[in-house]
Copies of this chain bind each other. A is one copy, B any other.
C-alpha cells in the first residue's frame, strides 16, 4: 500500500492531484445535464456528482465548481428554473465527454457532438435522446460550500422517463440492461455488470441474496 499524506497531495502538480482526488472516492454516476438559455439555445454538459437526496419528496443534488466548465449550465438553471438529467450509455461516451469542452454560451454542444435533443409535451428544456433514464428537475435551492467555494444545487424530481425494459419488480431500475456507464476519475468511462442484490439487512440475520 502507498500512503499519500495531506502534504504530499497538496504539493502534487495539478493533473496528478486532480486524477488522484477525482478517482479516490470510487465510481461516480455519469449524467448529462441539459438546459436552455433565455434565448432558446440548448446546452448539455457531463456531470459525475448527481446524487439522490431523498424519495419523499423525490429530490436530487449535484456539485458545481464555479471555476470550471458548466457555468452555462448554472446560469441556465437559475434563469429558467428547470433542467434535465440523462443517463449516459456506452454508445454516447465520446459525445458525453466532449461536452466538457469550454464552448461559448451561444454554442449548443448538441451541434458539436452526436448527442441529440428530445422534447416532451409541456416541457421546454431538452432531454438527451437515447438515454434510458431521463429526469425532469426543478431548481429548489443551493448551498454554498464555503470550505472550497463549490455550490450544492438541490432540485426536485418532477418527472422520470424510463425505458421500459429496465424497470424490474417494485420499480428497481436495472441499469446494466441498457449499458449505463459509471465514471472512474475525470475521464474514464466504465460499464458495470450486476453481481448480486441483497435483502433488507437485519441484525443477527445472515444477509441473503435476492437475485
Chain A contacts to B: CB under 8 angstroms: 1-6, 9-10, 12, 14-31, 49-61, 63, 65, 85, 87, 90, 93-94, 97-104, 107, 112, 120, 133-135, 140-141, 143, 145-148, 150, 152, 154, 156-164, 167, 170-176, 180-182, 184-207, 210
Contacts and interface: CB of A to CB of B under 8 A. Distances in A.
B170 A187 contact: no
A17 B199 contact: no
B199 A148 contact: no
Nearest to A202: B101
B60 A20 contact: no
Nearest to A163: B1
A152 to B, nearest CB: 6
Ordered nearest first, which 3 A-B pairs have the shortest CB separation? A26-B29, A190-B192, A23-B173
A203 B209 CA distance: 47
Contact of A5 (B1, B107, B159, B188): B159
Given A16-B170, A193-B191, A175 B164 contact: no
Nearest to A86: B26
B182 A188 contact: no
A9 B154 CA distance: 18
Contacts of A54: 21, 65, 148, 150
Contacts of A24: 52, 133, 135, 157, 160, 162, 173
Contacts of A141: 146-147
Contacts of A22: 52, 55
